[in-house]
Structure 1
Amino acid sequence: MYDLVIIGMGPAGLTAAVYAARKKLSTLLVGKQYGGQMAWASGVENYIGFQYITGPELLSKFEDHVKQYPVERVEAEVVKLTRENGHFITRTAGGEEFHSRAVIVASGKAPRRLNAPGERELTGRGVSYCAVCDAPLFAGMDVAVVGGGNSALTAAYDLIKIAKQVYVVSLAEWTADPIIVDKVKDAPNLTKLVGYETVRIEGNERVTGITLRSLDGRKEEKKIPVQGVFIEIGTVPSTHFVEGLLELNEKGEIKVDCDCSTSVPGAFAAGDVSSIPEKQIIVAAGEGAKAALGAYRYLLNQ
């Protein structure tokens, strides 16, 4: 029986682990991917104390900090969280069960899928959701980025330095921050395709192209030969394992109060998975600290 199980290994979960350990709580950190979305960030320019740092470098500093404390760690996918007999049970895909008196859900978000034909079949064979991870694999090739927000334009910025040609495909005009738009708008190897939807991703063993349909009255289709498709159309909260236990909002995020408490006593949520309005590394870290302190207060009162 742990005092606290923290589900998620991103900035919220890692910060919560440090704060919980400093309060001498027996703590287990469990999650599918160490670092969460922070591990994908090519460059971070808005984390206080660092004018510029890459996501992996910042993750390394988080990890070094966590290692200073006796926090147990299990890398596994959580498939179900329940509350039974006054305590919580965290179940993993491998069949493991971890019992705790309190829990913090900091599972973050996962990439949103296009649900276009060919997408799932070609994932990992030319279809990617992480330019930071996979951009180097497409050196000298033609690629498409689907999306028009910050994540899409950041991916395009990473790719224009590596790929031969980058097509940025979006349903509507770009909505990315002006500072990001300025970095890519004049790139000679970038083609902006606004007003197109993705019909399908072409290829058998590997991606060979992407078929688009114009959203004007003509509805014309065009096929662009590319070897890679980067899907950057946002994220969805990883809350499937808490459905039926914790109250969610219309976006599927866990509803939290200002102290990170949820609809169930002893259960807290922090970071991008929660209903807080801003999704930033520094905000997630702060919310992780709040959640751990909230869990500590809860346990003191039991």
Structure 2
Amino acid sequence: MGVLLLALGGTISVPDGKRAARLSGAEIAAAVPGLTETGIPLDVRDVRAVPSGSLTFAQVLDVVALASRAVADDADGVVVTQGTDTLEETAFLIDLVWPHDAPFVLTGAMRQPAMAGADGPANVLAAVRVAAAREARGAGAVVVLNDEVHAARWVRKTHSTNPAAFASPSTGPLGHVVEGRVRMLPAAPRHAPLPAGGDPARLAAARVALHVVTLEDDGAQLEGLEATHAGLVVAGFGVGHVPGALAPRLGTLAEHMPVVLTSRTGSGSVLRHTYYAPGSEADLRRRGLIDGGFLDPYKARVLLRLLLASGAGRDDIAEAFAARG
């Protein structure tokens, strides 16, 4: 019983930004006012103290395996503290494979512990409450900061420094922590988890590129991509548009690998059949691109790589994006 707390580094563990040493998970927990008074038993462990931008898919999946063993041993839930730079991506990767009802909560901090108004302690306290809450069971992986609970599927980091940086632009929060009580809002049912294991070599080989479309983009940066990558995510303009000159290049790539179309805007869905000009969403779908739906480019890349690593073919990939996008 209780909550497993795993420390992965990040701003929440940086004492003052001037020293290379990081706070341990025990030190992070000890600095949280009121944590002991919750009565929630904690098993605190250090995993690796690295900036979140240096995490790999394999390392995150190793954390999932460790958390799964703890849940099998009767842990009520899991909290991971990590850097916020890649928090939305690691949370979505975990959510795709997390097979348990027990909550998997990710949190961090926007301000270092020595800064005025440091947010790490409050975020850890809220995260532990959510991980132990019966109301949060079945929600999968969630991100908890600023007393808000965000579904991994929708959460985005929307500001570089603000303590209220995390939001779910398309849906709003999944829940709130109010006066120490976890209040969850109605949520759509989760999909069946994808395989989390597999051959590490296949995961390493499932390289997925991300191309953000810009004004007068002619695709020169994509030359030779089919020889080095197994898939591509395109972050198009608005509802999923690219310059007309880029469309043929994307169509050629789609003959060799899965190419997923998303929007670079940060919220909302790409369209399917509203516009038909060269480079429009309808034109790109005709050329073989896969509709990414509401998934932002970063999460679409996570899903595509996991599917490729599992050996999914193009039809299976298109079906998965249709269901999860």
Q: Which has the higher contact order (CA 8 A, sep 6+)?
A: 1
TM-score by length of 1: 0.26
The structure whose residues are more often helix, as a share, is 2
TM-score by length of 2: 0.25
